[in-house]
Amino acid sequence: MRRRDFITLLGGATTAWPPSVLAQASLKIARVGFLGLAPASGWAGEIAALRAGLRELGYVEGKNIVLEFRWAEGVGELPRLAAELVRMNVDIIVAPASTQVEPARQATRTIPIVFAQHADPVGTGHVLSLAHPGGNITGVSMVLTELAAKGLEILKQALPRATRIGILSNPTTPSHVKVVSEVEVAAKILGLQLLMTPVRTIDDFDPVFSLMKRERADGFLVPPSPLTNSQPVLLAELALQYGLPGMFGNKDNVKAGGLMSYGADFNYMYRHAAIYIDKILMGEKPSDLPVEQASKYDLVLNLKTARALGLDIPPTVLARADEVIE
């Protein structure tokens, strides 16, 4: 092949590359901070989804992007780690949920912050509106207030004789204030008595399950939070140990042995958060990037757990399940 033809071929080939990949060629290595709540192992699926999304957009760790993970042992440690990421002058901070967004927001009003599973970004004041976030924060959201209320309704359908349900809300999760209020309204309509059993740390889990058992709760509802999302195996083990059926907001809890979940696909949300990272690195402003709400919510059942608990899931509930784990 003649040299001129070879050069022409190369020039034509570049036009097929994604614009983001071409733009990255002239950029420095991007540094993206991730503000997480330990243990890191509890977020393996979500982190893998985020990395997959970045790879699809042409990002290769160590070549054109570096992920700086900071894992807090407790919520109280998040402000220090957020400030650390700010001092490092990362290009973007990924703060998955409202629990992490708030300390990140307190630490910086200039570095872009991207969330991946925020329950109520408008209600918490983290964005002005979904269409026009207005500040340095944007990302992917879910309507947790409605999801939790719907989850309680489905749990009642699965346990038609239930009269008392424990609620494992997390006072350190900003969005849970509104969640609890909506769940209380739903409980009145369903004729259920609620047993409020707040959990702030892992150490609260066992005492809370013991309390629910003593108070004769028929089941429990766990609105998703970084704390409960990070401990799917422990929560599933405690539920079986105390013989309590539970409704979660995260599918991973059911895969780990929980009874059922109703919620958004977290892996999809984290994968989609990569698009926000890419757009911001390409020069777009968080204030101009509308918040995207998850549009698909799945009901997942674990029949093996149902059998272990001695439950017969009503056919009507089984029929509406999007996924059944045998």
What pLDDT, on a 0 to 100 scale, did the predictor assign at position 248?
Answer: 97
Low-confidence ranges of the chain (pLDDT < 70): 1-27
Contacts of 212 (CB under 8 A, 6+ apart): 166, 195, 197, 220, 242, 244
Which domains are delineated in the chain? 3-142+266-293 (3.40.50.2300), 144-265+297-325 (3.40.50.2300)
pTM for this prediction: 0.83
Give pLDDT tens digits for 31-66.
999 999 999 988 999 999 999 999 999 999 999 999
CB-side neighbour CA atoms (13 Å) of 47: 20
pLDDT at residue number 180: 92
Inter-axis angle of helices 266-281 and 44-56, nearest 10: 40
pLDDT at 196: 96
Q: What is the mean pLDDT of the chain?
A: 90
Residue 6's pLDDT is what?
A: 33
Q: Are 170 and 199 in contact (CB under 8 A)?
A: yes
Sheet containing strand 323-325, edge to edge, reads 193-196, 164-167, 219-222, 246-248, 260-264, 297-302, 323-325
Residue with tokens 């059911």: 254
